[in-house]
Structure 1
Amino acid sequence: MLLTPVDNSAIVAALAAALDGGPAVLPLSADDPRAGELRSAMAPGEPTLPGTAVVVATSGSTGAPKGVELSATALRASAAATHERLGGPGQWLLTLPANHIAGVQVVVRSLLAGFGPVLRGTRPFADAVRSMTGPRRYTSLVPTQLVRLLDDPVGLEALCSFDAVLLGGAAAPASLVDRARAAGVRVSTTYGMSETAGGCVYDGQPLDGVRVRLSDGVISLAGPTLASGYRRDPVGTSAAFVDGWFRTTDIGELSADGTLSVSGRADFVINTGGVKVAPAAVEAVLAEQAGVAEVCVVDLPDAEWGQLVAAAVVPVDGSSPPLVDDLRAAVRARLGGPAAPRLVRFVTALPLRGPGKVDRSGVRDVLRGS
Structure 2
Amino acid sequence: MTRTVRAVDAGEPRDVFEALRDALAGSGPAVVPREAAESLNGQEATNKQNQQAEPDTVPQNVALVIETSGSTGVPKRVALSADALLASAAASAGAMGGQGQWLLALPAHYVAGAQVLVRSLAAETEPLYYGPGHFDAVRFATLAAALTHDLRYTSLVPVQLARLVEAVEEGATDVAGALRQFDGILVGGQALTSQLRERAERAGARILSTYGSSETAGGCVYDGVPIGTTTVREVGGLLEIGGPTLAEGYLGDEGRTRATFHEADGHRWYRTGDLGRVDDGRVTVFGRADNVIISGGEKVLLDSVELTVRSIPGLDAAIVVASDDDEWGQVPVVVVAADARRWAGPDALRKVRSTVAERVGRAAAPARIVAVDQLPLLSSGKPDRRAAALIVADTDADTAAATSANEA
Map 1:43-54 onto structure 2 (within 5 A): 43-54=53-64
Partner residue of 1:168 out of 180, 183, 188: 188
Q: How far, CA to CA, are the matches of 1:133 and 1:201 in structure 2?
A: 28
How many residues were matched structurally?
Answer: 369
Matched, 1:142 2:161: no
> Identity, % of aligned pairs?
42
Change (3 A) 1:249 1:81: same
Q: How far, CA to CA, are the matches of 1:41 and 1:319 in structure 2?
A: 41
Structure 2: gaps (5+ residues): 396-408
Structure 1 vs Structure 2 CA RMSD: 2.3
Counterpart amino acid of residue 312 in structure 2: Q
Change (3 A) 1:39 1:284: closer
Change (3 A) 1:354 1:250: farther
Quick check: 107-116 or 192-201, which moved more?
107-116
Map 1:267-282 onto structure 2 (within 5 A): 267-282=290-305
Change (3 A) 1:238 1:369: closer
User: Which residue pairs with 2:16 in the alignment?
Assistant: 11
Counterpart amino acid of residue 368 in structure 2: L
In the TM superposition, what whole-angstrom CA distance separates every residue of 1:293-347 from its partner, at most 9, and x where no partner exists? 2322110122333212111246986668882211111222233322111112345
User: Which residue pairs with 2:275 in the alignment?
Assistant: 251
Counterpart amino acid of residue 96 in structure 1: L
Length-normalised TM-score, structure 1: 0.93
Partner residue of 2:110 out of 89, 100, 105: 100
Map 1:1-370 onto structure 2 (within 5 A): 1-6=4-9, 7-21=12-26, 22-30=28-36, 31-33=38-40, 38=48, 41=51, 43-122=53-132, 124-152=139-167, 153=172, 154-243=174-263, 244-255=268-279, 257-313=280-336, 323-346=348-371, 350-368=375-393
Q: How far, CA to CA, are the matches of 1:198 and 1:358 in structure 2?
A: 19
In the TM superposition, what whole-angstrom CA distance separates every residue of 1:204-234 from its partner, at most 9, and x where no partner exists? 0000110000011100001010111110111
Q: How far, CA to CA, are the matches of 1:349 and 1:145 in structure 2?
A: 17
Length-normalised TM-score, structure 2: 0.84
Tell me the CA shift for residue 36 of structure 1. 9.7
Q: How far, CA to CA, are the matches of 2:5 and 2:154 in structure 1?
A: 28
Higher helix residue share: 2
Query: Residues 80 and 246 of structure 2 are in contact (CA less than 8 Å); yes or no, is this contact kept in structure 1?
Result: yes
Query: Residues 42 and 231 of structure 1 are in contact (CA less than 8 Å); yes or no, is this contact kept in structure 2?
Result: no
User: Which residue pairs with 2:398 in the alignment?
Assistant: none
